[in-house]
Amino acid sequence: MSTSSWYRSRCRATPGHAGAIRAALAAGKHVLSEWPLGVDAEEARSLAAEARAAGVRTAVVLQGLHSPDVRFVADLLAEGRLGRLESAVLVADGAPFGGGTIQADLAWTLDPAAGASILSIMAGHFLSTLEGVTGPFTSVSARLPLVHEQVTVAGTGERRRNGTPGNVLLHGTLAGGATASVAVQGGDRPDGVGFFLTLACERGTLVATPRRRGMYLHWTDWDISVDGKPLAVPAAYRTVPAAVPPGPATRIAALYRDVARALTEGRPARPDFDAAARQHRLLAAIEQSAAHGSRETAVR
């Protein structure tokens, strides 16, 4: 199939993804879906299985995996240049989710059945990006506090019942044996920090922050330092034309480039529906841990 036979699922509401994707699969189309792939892990698993059966290529917009910064830092760790990773700490802003006020066009996300929340959207992106650097989680212990039982819809003053968490807090272990702590802070504060990532290794501590204050982990260019000394990302890690501006566009362009190459090379795109289904399973493990106060295996 040619690149023109792709169908892109860009439904505003996550519950609409499955129907649109299944229609595209039935027509024999390759599919590029926004994240989240489905409303929960079971729907994502089903869509991945149906795509395999249809024999088409799939991709999901978890663009943090295509960040030059992510790939560079992942190589630093993989090559052992900082020694063994011992612990990772990520603190990230989760706005516009989790606050006492929400935009009118996002009010539908207050229903947990909609599958779009600070956990599924923001933590989903952040954890995918973090795992692109550190490797996958193998276990998680989490809390999902409901900070606001009632939320005000911006512009209308309407008060709506809320069933989604205001923060995502988790501790876990990674496949390489390191520990990881993640806090995704919800809210509607006008001047968020963005994120702060620390990787403590045997021979140094790497710190990454957004080059532009308030930007998301998976969107922006990073300022990176090791033991306080700035570290530049080599130009070779930028894989898109120079005309593409830095920042969010770079990551989306790199994802599109990978999709095109996946077609011509006859390989899966990165990430595809199977990878997205694994990410949904991690989120399901977080939900289970928060619901039962348990330590959950992160089945990948």
CATH code, 9: 3.40.50.720
Terminal Cα distance for the chain, rounded: 30
Same domain, 72 and 212: yes
Gap between the Cα atoms of 291 and 1, Å rounded? 44
Q: Are residues 79 and 224 in the same domain?
A: yes
156, part of any domain: yes
The number of domains in the chain is 2
233 occurs within a structural domain: no
Helices marked H in the chain: 17-26, 41-54, 68-78, 124-134, 248-265, 273-292
pLDDT at residue 299 in the model: 67
Is 74 contained in some domain? yes
Task: For residue 44, tell me if it sits in a domain.
Answer: yes
Are the CB atoms for 276 and 35 separated by under 8 Å? yes
Can you give the pLDDT at residue 61? 97
| Cα–Cα distance for residue pair 37/26, rounded to 1 Å | 17
3-state secondary structure of 202: coil
Q: What is the pLDDT of residues 8-18, one digit of tens each?
A: 344 457 888 99
Which pTM value belongs to this model?
Answer: 0.94
Amino acid, res. 20:
A
Report the distance separating Cα 183 and Cα 196, nearest Å: 10
Question: pLDDT tens digits, residue range 81-121?
Answer: 999 999 999 999 999 999 999 999 999 999 999 999 999 99
Nearest to 169 by CA among 86, 281, 90, 65: 90
Residue labelled with tokens 């090791």: 226
Residues 266 and 222 in one domain: no
Say if residue 134's pLDDT is above 90. Answer: yes
Distance from C-alpha of 194 to C-alpha of 220, rounded to nearest angstrom: 9
**Based on the domain organization, do 197 and 286 belong to the same domain?**
yes
Looking at the structure, do residues 183 and 91 belong to the same domain, yes or no? yes
Strand ranges inside the chain, DSSP E: 6-9, 30-34, 58-61, 85-93, 101-102, 137-143, 150-153, 159-161, 167-174, 179-185, 195-201, 204-210, 222-226, 229-231, 295-297
Instruction: Check: CB of residue 88 under 8 Å from CB of residue 156.
Output: no
Which one-letter amino acid corresponds to residue 53?
A
Considering the domain boundaries, does residue 237 fall inside one? no
CA distances from 131 to 70, 171, 180, 200, 279 (A): 9, 14, 10, 15, 10
**Within a domain: 35:** yes
pLDDT, mean of residues 41-60: 97
Residues 93 and 221 placed together within one structural domain of the fold? yes
Pick from 224, 199, 256, 214: nearest CA to 82: 199
Identify whether residues 76 and 151 lie together within a single domain: yes
* Pair of tokens at residue 37: 């792939």
Is 244 inside a domain boundary?
no
Residues 71 and 191 grouped into a single domain: yes
Q: How far is CA 250 from CA 22, 30, 76, 119, 131, in A?
A: 29, 23, 21, 25, 20
**Based on the domain organization, do 114 and 260 belong to the same domain?**
no
Residue 185 near residue 143 (C-beta atoms within 8 A): no
> Could you report the per-residue pLDDT of 150-186, keeping only the tens digit for each?
999 999 999 999 999 999 999 999 999 999 999 999 9
Per-residue pLDDT, averaged over 184-201, amounts to: 90
In this structure, the answer to whether residues 168 and 79 fall within a common structural domain is yes
The 8 Å CB, 24+ separation contacts for 189-197 are: 189/93, 189/95, 189/99, 192/93, 192/95, 193/93, 194/92, 194/93, 194/220, 195/90, 195/91, 195/92, 195/93, 195/126, 196/89, 196/90, 196/91, 196/92, 197/88, 197/89, 197/90, 197/130, 197/222
CATH number at residue 139: 3.30.360.10
Residue 173, in any domain of the structure: yes
What was the pLDDT predicted at 298? 81
27 and 131 share one domain: no
Residue ranges making up the domain that contains 10: 3-63+252-273
Pair 211, 84 in one domain: yes
